[in-house]
Amino acid sequence: MTTPWEDWNHILKIDPDKELPEGVTYGDLCATGTDAIEVGGTMGITRENMGAVIEACAEHDVALYLEPSSPDVVLEDDVLDGYFIPTVFNAGSPFWITEAHKEWVRLEGDLDWERTTTEAYIVMNPEADVATLTEANCDLDADDVAAYATVAERMFGQEIVYVEYSGMLGDEGVVEATAAATDEATLFYGGGIHDYDSAHLMAQYADVIVVGDLAHDEGIEAVRETVVAANDA
Ligand code: 1GP
């Protein structure tokens, strides 16, 4: 299995349930200099809206990954470079840790293991849809998050640890502590990155920053700034 994310600095996450700003195309987003496009979201995701985004991005020269929110929206498609499968380490419901995954395997049998990688999520914004859905315990300090990251890496062999503040800029101390705790795993940070400075702040510690809503709310130039910051840090 290849692990291209080890060389990445920036991911653009496109939510198929959200509109793009007027005049912006998926092609424009693919050409922002981001290392990879990750297609996924928490609410309102269907095979149809996922498929439409994949099709629009597939013709552009950028790594393309699917991040399904549940087994029924996994699309098998040769144009994808791979599948990032979230497992939420601080979920209150075991469904989001291993049960959804068990159902997927039970229904599908043999998955495309070569292209399938889990992301060990630690969900930190209690206001985010993902926190509500997974009943995540977000009342964690930097030591807790760092310890979760160590558990993910050392005990569960996770290649990707994802500190997720979706919708808000996170606590830089948490990200710093988590970065210090991870050794082999690649640390993804996502949440509230909205300009050069916020991108640079988190990219100092995280291996890869993930930018989401900015693409839907602001557009190309704003995303480009975050790519530059990620590469500068
Ligand atoms: C969401 O981590 C990503 O899964 C990015 O968050 O939408 O807040 O940029 P934002």
d(CA 189, CA 170): 9
CB neighbours (10 Å) of residue 47? 13
Residues facing residue 87 across a β-bridge? 120
Nearest CA to ligand 1 atom 9: 212
Kindly state whether residue 115 falls inside one of the protein's structural domains.
Answer: yes
**Cα 82 to middle of ligand 1, angstroms:** 19
* Ligand 1 pocket member 164 (CB < 6 A): yes
Kindly state whether residue 2 falls inside one of the protein's structural domains.
Answer: no
**Cα 69 to middle of ligand 1, angstroms:** 14
Nearest CA to ligand 1 atom 3: 190
Kindly state whether residue 104 falls inside one of the protein's structural domains.
Answer: yes
Stretch 193-206: mean pLDDT, rounded? 98
Closest C-alpha among 152, 148, 198 to residue 177: 148
**Cα 165 to middle of ligand 1, angstroms:** 7
Residues facing residue 11 across a β-bridge? 36, 210
By the 10 Å C-beta count (0-12 exposed, 13-18 middle, 19+ buried), 229 is classed as buried
User: What are the CB-based long-range contacts (under 8 Å, 24+) for 126-129?
Assistant: 127/167, 127/168, 128/42, 128/164, 128/165, 128/166, 128/167, 128/168, 129/42, 129/43, 129/166
Mutate to test the pocket of ligand 1, among 96, 189, 198, 213 (most ligand atoms within 8 A of CB): 213
Q: Is the pLDDT of residue 192 over 80?
A: yes
Kindly state whether residue 91 falls inside one of the protein's structural domains.
Answer: yes
The two most distant CA atoms of the chain are separated, in Å, by: 47
- Residue 81 one-letter amino acid: D
Residue 197: which domain range?
8-232
Kindly state whether residue 29 falls inside one of the protein's structural domains.
Answer: yes
Q: Is the pLDDT of residue 1 over 70?
A: no
What tens digit of pLDDT does each residue of 33-58 get? 999 999 998 889 998 999 999 999 99
* Ligand 1 pocket member 53 (CB < 6 A): no
* Ligand 1 pocket member 123 (CB < 6 A): no
Stretch 165-177: mean pLDDT, rounded? 98
Q: Ligand 1: which atom is nearest the Cα of residue 42?
A: 4
Kindly state whether residue 106 falls inside one of the protein's structural domains.
Answer: yes
Closest C-alpha among 189, 105, 177 to residue 141: 177
In the chain the first and final C-alpha atoms are separated, in Å, by 28
What tens digit of pLDDT does each residue of 74-96 get? 888 889 999 999 999 999 999 99
187 three-state secondary structure:
strand
pTM higher than 0.95, yes or no?
Answer: yes
Kindly state whether residue 127 falls inside one of the protein's structural domains.
Answer: yes
**Cα 99 to middle of ligand 1, angstroms:** 24
Kindly state whether residue 89 falls inside one of the protein's structural domains.
Answer: yes
Q: Is the pLDDT of residue 69 over 90?
A: no
* Ligand 1 pocket member 191 (CB < 6 A): yes
| Number of structural domains in the chain | 1
* Ligand 1 pocket member 194 (CB < 6 A): no
By the 10 Å C-beta count (0-12 exposed, 13-18 middle, 19+ buried), 37 is classed as buried
* Ligand 1 pocket member 51 (CB < 6 A): no
- Element of type H or E holding 107: helix 99-108
Tell me the CATH number at 130: 3.20.20.390
Report residue 153 CA to chain centroid gap: 17
